[in-house]
Amino acid sequence: MNFAFTDDQLLFRDAVAEFFANECPPEKVRWSWDDEVGRDESIWAALAEMGVIGLTVPEAFGGMGMNEIDLLPILTEAGRYAYPGPLVETVAVVAPLLAESAPAAIAEKWLPGIAEGSVIATVQLDGQPFVNDMHIANLLIAQRGEQLFAIPAEHVRSTPQVSVDGARRLFSVEWDEADAELIVSGEAALQAVNRAFDRGAAATAAQLIGLSEQMIAMTVAYVVDRKQFGVPIGSFQAVKHHLADAELKVSFARPAVWAAAYGLANSSADVDREVSMAKCFASDAAEVVARKALQTHGAIGYTTEHDLHFWLKRSWALASSWGDAAWHRRRVAHLLLDA
């Protein structure tokens, strides 16, 4: 038993965190809101150079051949810095799906490009109405019933949808099977979809942990600095208890997310339950932390001039992506009670 990351895993994570600190400060998140495309190609290229984009691509296709235990701590850092690019879609979901389930020709066509950063992939499973980052994607992986398809972006017709998180880019999409390549069908496709969904949910949960930790850090800094009645507001018990509740939620969501990473990497028999517990706890935590952070900031937090709203809105969006807390709680209930 050793419920911890290796030094190498932590070094990789810290290197990515340092990169985001330098290249994705709050001003960059604000730029993502204001810019039409909202994605900095140089960040994606640098992440590919560091091995982040190809992290889950097998070595035979030019990637790092690593797994969720390596990836999820890095996605926590992406969440901490509110980085808006499609890491969950490309790295956590599509690359492992192609490596595991696609015929050799399709895998060879797309995976090396993903690893080197020239192919951005996004995904739509049944039940997911919108696609992230279709505007910059080269490849869409989409489910249609018991079939999974690869569709080159030029054959996808997309209509923007506007998220409360202005840094997100969502689209409704249409495409024709004539333009799509079949990846897998039947029972094998449903299994691949289930694994893909679990991976997306766990990866999103990891981002929510980072978002939550950052909201707590911002709020702590604010209440230590902000004075009322002649003292820092952080000295008031009501404020302390808001922040203690926030820390409590994140502290017990975090190990659930790491356990889900372990379950995915080791194909645990209970991986569906482990992932749903992680996403349920991470979504609940982020929603509580966001409320506490806003309440504790007071009116300044209720403006778009302050940076806090970037984190609030990303939290709201991700809390309900890849299954919200209630959906995942029902899934756990089903697995526990109907067996």
Instruction: Summarize as ranges the residues that interact with another protein (CB under 8 A).
Output: 1-6, 69, 216, 220, 223-224, 231-232, 234-235, 237, 239-241, 243-245, 247-248, 251-253, 255-256, 258-259, 261-262, 277, 280-281, 326, 329-330, 332-333, 336-337
Task: Tell me whether strands 131-132 and 147-152 are parallel, antiparallel or unpaired.
Answer: unpaired
- Cβ at position 230, least distance to another protein in Å: 11
Burial-class residue 6 by CB neighbours within 10 Å (0-12, 13-18, 19+): exposed
- Which of 74, 146, 153 has the alpha carbon at shortest distance from 110? 153
Query: Nearer Cβ to another protein, position 262 or 316?
Result: 262
Cα–Cα dist 122/137, whole Å:
6
CA dihedral (209, 213, 214, 216) positive or negative: positive
- Cβ at position 209, least distance to another protein in Å: 13
- Cβ at position 214, least distance to another protein in Å: 14
- Cβ at position 276, least distance to another protein in Å: 9
* Strands of the sheet with 121-124, listed across from one edge: 121-124, 139-144, 147-152, 181-185
Residues 42 and 85: beta-carbon distance below 8 Å: no
Query: Nearer Cβ to another protein, position 157 or 227?
Result: 227
- Cβ at position 233, least distance to another protein in Å: 9
Question: Bridge partners of 297?
Answer: none
Query: Nearer Cβ to another protein, position 108 or 252?
Result: 252
3-state secondary structure of 183: strand
Cα–Cα dist 13/319, whole Å:
23
- Cβ at position 270, least distance to another protein in Å: 10
Residue-wise burial string across 93-102, b where 16 or more C-beta atoms lie within 10 A, e elsewhere: bbbbbbbebb
Query: Nearer Cβ to another protein, position 58 or 263?
Result: 263
Query: Nearer Cβ to another protein, position 238 or 299?
Result: 238
Query: Nearer Cβ to another protein, position 163 or 295?
Result: 295
